Amino acid sequence: MSKLKIRPLHVGTIKRPLIVFMVSPDPGKLIEAPLVCWYIEGGDKKILVDTGGGNPTLTERPPYTRENEQAIENALSNIGVQCDEIDIVINTHLHWDHCSGNQLFPNAKIIVQEEELKSARSPFPIHVSGYNSKMLEDINYTLIKGDTQIIEGVKTIFVPGHTYGMQGVLVEAETKNYFIAADTISRYDSMMMKPPLISGINVDLKMYYDSLKKIDELSATVLPGHDFDVFKKELYN
């Protein structure tokens, strides 16, 4: 039986129109949404999924706030983990709010889809502001292609649509399988529809809807990427 558990970490808050997270009847409604990283514990490797938005004083992407204890290094320290102990970082994609802490993990293998790095370095003009250029040039990434087993019980699942190289993480935990969906499925509300409501930020609708079908076929409990309700549980096992 797997001993893996997933711990959500709140690493900041952004305020954006709802359509950023899901196309809805009220797309212009402004909402606050958390930035979320996920620590996978209980295995032979210490794994972190995404690294957050970095220092708000150094970004030009307001409204974005982060309390001191929400800095990824402090959020990890509060659960007894230091940045230099992390063995593997999995970036679901390379938008600024998911990878801007990458440089804090000197001993980690930082995994991203090859297609994600390629397309992030040459985005559509409308998407340029979604990227942190330092994270595209200054990080030594380990590049993968498609679905990839990372360790026993942890597998990346290629789900393009939000970006060309989007991936989620399938975790075989103690009691059930979970899928860390990041921005492919950002909100619990979006799953009230079938298929779930997509993000208003996307690069290919056919890819996106094919990916939603692929996620559904995993028969896993989905953990969305920007919903405060994920913090109702300290651990997902």
pLDDT score of 53: 97
Instruction: Give 168's DSSP letter.
Output: E
Query: Domains in the chain, start-ordered, CATH in brackets?
Result: 5-232 (3.60.15.10)
Question: Does the pLDDT value for residue 116 go beyond 80?
Answer: yes
Q: How far, rounded to the nearest angstrom, does the alpha carbon of residue 231 sit from its chain's CA centroid?
A: 15
Q: What is the per-residue pLDDT across 8-17, written as a single tens digit (0 to 9) for each?
A: 999 999 999 9
Q: How far, rounded to the nearest angstrom, does the alpha carbon of residue 18 sit from its chain's CA centroid?
A: 18
- Cα dihedral across residues 198, 125, 141, 55: positive or negative: negative
Q: What is the pTM of this model?
A: 0.97
Whole-angstrom distance, CA of residue 141 vs CA of residue 136: 9
Alpha helix stretches (DSSP H) within 103-162: 114-120, 133-137
Question: Does the pLDDT value for residue 1 go beyond 80?
Answer: no
How many other CB atoms are there within 10 angstroms of residue 37's CB atom? 23
Whole-angstrom distance, CA of residue 11 vs CA of residue 231: 12
Whole-angstrom distance, CA of residue 53 vs CA of residue 70: 11
Alpha helix stretches (DSSP H) within 121-185: 133-137
Q: What is the per-residue pLDDT across 5-38, written as a single tens digit (0 to 9) for each?
A: 999 999 999 999 999 999 998 989 999 999 999 9
